Amino acid sequence: MTGFQKTAGNGRQGARGGEEIRIGFYVCHCGMNIASLVDVAAVAKEAAKLPNVVVSREYKYMCSDPGQEFIMQDIRENRLNRIVVAACSPNLHEATFRGAVARGGINPYLFQMVNIREHGSWVHTDAAAATQKAIDQVRAAVARVAKHRVLERRRMEVNPSVLVVGGGIAGITAALNLADAGKKVYLVEREPTIGGHMAKYDKTFPTLDCAACILTPKMSAVREHPNITLWTYSEVVKVDGHVGKFHVTVKRKPRYIDEETCVGCLECISACVFKAPKFEDEFNEGLGKRKPIYIPFPQAVPPLVTIDPETCLKFKTGKCKSPCETVCDRKAVDFTQTERFEEIDVGAVIVATGFKAFDVTRLPIYGYGLYDNVYTALEVERMVTSSGPTGGEITLRDGRVPKSIGIIHCVGSRDKKTNRWCSRVCCMYSLKLAHLLREHTGADVYQFYIDMRCPGKGYDEFYERMLDEGVQMIRGRAAEVTDWTMSPEEEGKLVVRVEDTLAAYVRRIPVDMVVLSTGMEPAAGAEEIRRMFNISCSTEGFFLEKHPKLAPVETATAGVFIAGCCQGPKDIPDTVGQAGAAAAQALALIDKGYVEMEPNTSYIDADDCSGCKSCIPLCPYKAIAFDEASKKAVINEALCTGCGTCVASCPSGSISQNLFEDDQIFSEIEEVLSHV
């Protein structure tokens, strides 16, 4: 029974009454953020007249040290036992003021915060009305706080293992950092191999060091690490629980190969009935072909083959002799494999699900799909790689080697018609591709850019170097890529039409090859990940950090951290830095060993509970059980997150919630409406 008992102090037993209510009220100017619209002096004056208010003050910055000191001092000198602060959002400073209240010597839950900034000065324009609204809010809070009771926080043990979702460079970095610190890590990747987008790149800016040389050792380190459990070709499908104690279900898709026995000899691939690769190769952006049984690239981690049931004859027709199966002396091919589900418990989660390149078919003005020699930057990235589909040769789809190449920037970035944001990496990777393409072909390369954005260590120097190398820079957003000609020189070429905003005229630049520098978008499936882990997102769909400056890897959900491009476009150095920060935050959480839980949980008045069980299936956190001995429902406070669903649903009204008691809410509503 112990697990289902309320911790001491947070029940109805701690009844109020008897003592005299003495409230201290404080209104914050927030510099001019609040005071520029709300008449704070009037708010303080009105508050002083309210019942039980003993002290009413205004101050420029309540959250500052002197501001907090007022509260502590007044508690001591005026024997205050309730505090109300009218300032910003409780999301920002509720914890700050609760801390001050506690240091002043009273229970931190005998406190109520009123938001007159986000709900007041920032959203209104009429000063008198905003002031009146603030007074109404304060009256409600003063009435409410009088009903507050002493509550205690609970400590909860934290599971010391971490789940990392996404095996790109962000996920790899975070996983290795945590594993090196001795923590158990589960790394879940949707594709058959880890490595993410970075594995597709040839060289990295601005140092031009080989992406594979710096990435693949990290990939194999992940595989070798005793503290990392790596699940590729797998997806998180369900998340329960909360900070310190997440229960996660991972779906492992069948690759029709026994992962334990396959050694990656690849003989099955040679044996496949398809003598030549026939199907579009995802890793090579469709420029190459693969067989139904394949490995994404030779350095894939884990080095396992995968069978694609969409193209494999065994699955399509059932009439294949399956030479792959016969040739494998380790009997690793297994056509009977089905989806499996793994369930794990972790204390923290790092989401590093990356990005998706902009779909260029959304901008037909650039002729992708219409003209053979228009490529995306990722395609060119694969082409310049010596291990890529062309072995590093730059040959156009018609077999020619390009003599002139146009690189169009901001395709799907900084564009009201598609995506408004700057993708941050395209200027630099376009310069890098210019260098590599010139190196491979000797072609003239034109860059069509809006502005060059190269802020980063060694970035602007790289830009200068490309100018010295003779890359042609044309400032102007390219209007279109077309094949209509105006002169014999244009015959057989693609023409990039652009307003050269430095030369101030419209130019037609004939080229053999066009490269579209695509921007970054939230990854496919980001929405599902977001819902499962309860992460907010910005309007464009990138995951939202808890604070843009001061909590860049935390999310609004405690214990869930974000890193890499799922949070917003960024380059490899920033991604790795952010992944390290996320790992450190997760480490700080789990190394502490416990988390303090808010006491806003539900509790049952056993006398009134009829034992109807209607609350039990409604609880999303499985926190309610039925006690057969007493025939009553019991809430496990450790699992309760305070969502309130059971409170609202209980037919006999026997469930209440700390900090959201009926009398607290009703007194609040009465007072906020009392002037009407």
Partner 1 sequence: MKRRYTYFPGCSILGTGRACEESTRAVFAELGVELDDLDDWNCCGATAYMSVDEHKALALAARNLALADTRECAELTTPCSGCYLVLNKTQRYMEEYPRVGDKVKCALKDAGLNYTGRVRVRHMLDILVHDIGLDEVRKHVKRPLKNAKIAPYYGCQTVRPYLDFDHQHYPMTIDRLAEALGATPTHFPLKTRCCGGSQMGTLPNVAQRLCYAILREARRQGANLILSVCPLCHFNLDSYQPDIKSRFGEDVSITTMYYTQLVGLAFGMDPETLGLHRNMTWDGSWLEREILAGAPA
Instruction: Please identify, using beta-carbon distances, which residue of 60 and 507 lies nearer to partner 1.
Output: 507
* Shortest CB 364 distance to partner 1, Å: 4
* Shortest CB 294 distance to partner 1, Å: 35
Instruction: Please identify, using beta-carbon distances, which residue of 484 and 505 lies nearer to partner 1.
Output: 484
Segments of 215-278 assigned E as strands: 228-231, 234-242, 245-252
Burial label, 588 (beta-carbon count in 10 A; 0-12, 13-18, 19+): exposed
Q: Using the rule CB under 8 A, give the single segment among 3-11, 102-110, 214-222, 363-371 that binds partner 1.
A: 363-371
Sheet of strand 111-115: strand arrangement: 53-59, 23-28, 82-87, 111-115
Contact 107, 82 (CB under 8 A): no
Q: How many CA atoms lie within 13 A of 161 on its CB side?
A: 14
Other residues' Cβ atoms within 10 Å of the Cβ of residue 361 = 10
* Shortest CB 379 distance to partner 1, Å: 21
Instruction: Please identify, using beta-carbon distances, which residue of 370 and 669 lies nearer to partner 1.
Output: 370
* Shortest CB 361 distance to partner 1, Å: 10
Identify the bridge partners of residue 348 per DSSP, sorted by sequence position.
162
Instruction: Please identify, using beta-carbon distances, which residue of 475 and 497 lies nearer to partner 1.
Output: 497
Which of 271, 365, 558, 584 is in the footprint of partner 1 by CB under 8 A? 365
Which of 105, 217, 364, 653 is in the footprint of partner 1 by CB under 8 A? 364
Tokens 């950092």: give the residue: 177
Instruction: Please identify, using beta-carbon distances, which residue of 313 and 365 lies nearer to partner 1.
Output: 365
For 646, residues 6+ apart whose C-beta sits below 8 A from its C-beta are: 602, 615, 618, 619, 624, 635, 655
State which of positions 100-129 bind partner 1 (CB under 8 A): none
What is the DSSP track for 524-575? Answer: TTHHHHHHHHT--B-TTSPBPPSBTTTBSSB-SSTTEEE-GGGSS---HHHH
State which of positions 647-676 bind partner 1 (CB under 8 A): none
Instruction: Please identify, using beta-carbon distances, which residue of 492 and 548 lies nearer to partner 1.
Output: 492
Instruction: Please identify, using beta-carbon distances, which residue of 273 and 365 lies nearer to partner 1.
Output: 365
Site membership for partner 1, residue 273 (CB under 8 A): no
Other residues' Cβ atoms within 10 Å of the Cβ of residue 510 = 18
Instruction: Please identify, using beta-carbon distances, which residue of 342 and 480 lies nearer to partner 1.
Output: 480
Instruction: Please identify, using beta-carbon distances, which residue of 365 and 581 lies nearer to partner 1.
Output: 365
Nearest to 135 by CA among 216, 215, 50, 78: 50
* Shortest CB 490 distance to partner 1, Å: 11
Tokens 């790689």: give the residue: 385
* Shortest CB 480 distance to partner 1, Å: 8
State which of positions 366-395 bind partner 1 (CB under 8 A): 370
* Shortest CB 416 distance to partner 1, Å: 12
For 586, residues 6+ apart whose C-beta sits below 8 A from its C-beta are: 162, 174, 178, 348, 350, 561
Contact 306, 279 (CB under 8 A): no
Amino acid at 598: E
Instruction: Please identify, using beta-carbon distances, which residue of 227 and 482 lies nearer to partner 1.
Output: 482
Contact 497, 506 (CB under 8 A): yes
Amino acid at 123: V
Compute the distance between CA of residue 416 and CA of residue 244 in angstroms, rounded to an integer: 42
* Shortest CB 486 distance to partner 1, Å: 7
* Shortest CB 591 distance to partner 1, Å: 55
Q: Using the rule CB under 8 A, give the single segment among 37-45, 153-161, 196-204, 364-372 that binds partner 1.
A: 364-372
Binding mask 410-449 for partner 1 (x = CB under 8 A): ----------------------------------------
In terms of DSSP bridges, do strands 444-449 and 404-411 run parallel, antiparallel, or are they unpaired? parallel
For 518, the 3-state DSSP assignment is strand
Q: Tell me, what DSSP letter sits at residue 20?
A: P
Instruction: Please identify, using beta-carbon distances, which residue of 480 and 605 lies nearer to partner 1.
Output: 480
Q: Which two tokens stand for residue 309?
A: 């049931």
Compute the distance between CA of residue 310 and CA of residue 623 in angstroms, rounded to an integer: 42
Does residue 533 come out as left (phi exceeding 0), alpha (psi in the -120 to 50 range) or beta? alpha
Compute the distance between CA of residue 521 and CA of residue 566 in angstroms, rounded to an integer: 9
Q: Which two tokens stand for residue 92?
A: 């920002």
* Shortest CB 423 distance to partner 1, Å: 22
* Shortest CB 376 distance to partner 1, Å: 18
For 208, the 3-state DSSP assignment is coil
Q: Using the rule CB under 8 A, give the single segment among 278-286, 362-370, 532-540, 647-655 that binds partner 1.
A: 362-370
Q: At what angle do helices 40-48 and 127-145 cross, to 10 degrees?
A: 30
Binding mask 515-534 for partner 1 (x = CB under 8 A): --------------------
Cis amide bond preceding 206, omega within 30? yes
* Shortest CB 380 distance to partner 1, Å: 23
* Shortest CB 540 distance to partner 1, Å: 23
State which of positions 473-512 bind partner 1 (CB under 8 A): 480, 482-486
Instruction: Please identify, using beta-carbon distances, which residue of 468 and 491 lies nearer to partner 1.
Output: 491
Instruction: Please identify, using beta-carbon distances, which residue of 105 and 364 lies nearer to partner 1.
Output: 364
Sign of the torsion formed by the C-alpha atoms of 257, 258, 259 and 262: negative
* Shortest CB 362 distance to partner 1, Å: 10
Most distant CA pair in the chain: distance in Å?
98
Q: How many residues bind partner 1 (CB under 8 A)?
A: 9
Instruction: Please identify, using beta-carbon distances, which residue of 240 and 483 lies nearer to partner 1.
Output: 483
For 224, the 3-state DSSP assignment is helix
Instruction: Please identify, using beta-carbon distances, which residue of 334 and 483 lies nearer to partner 1.
Output: 483
* Shortest CB 367 distance to partner 1, Å: 8
Compute the distance between CA of residue 605 and CA of residue 505 in angstroms, rounded to an integer: 79
Site residues (vs partner 1, CB under 8 A): 364-365, 370, 480, 482-486
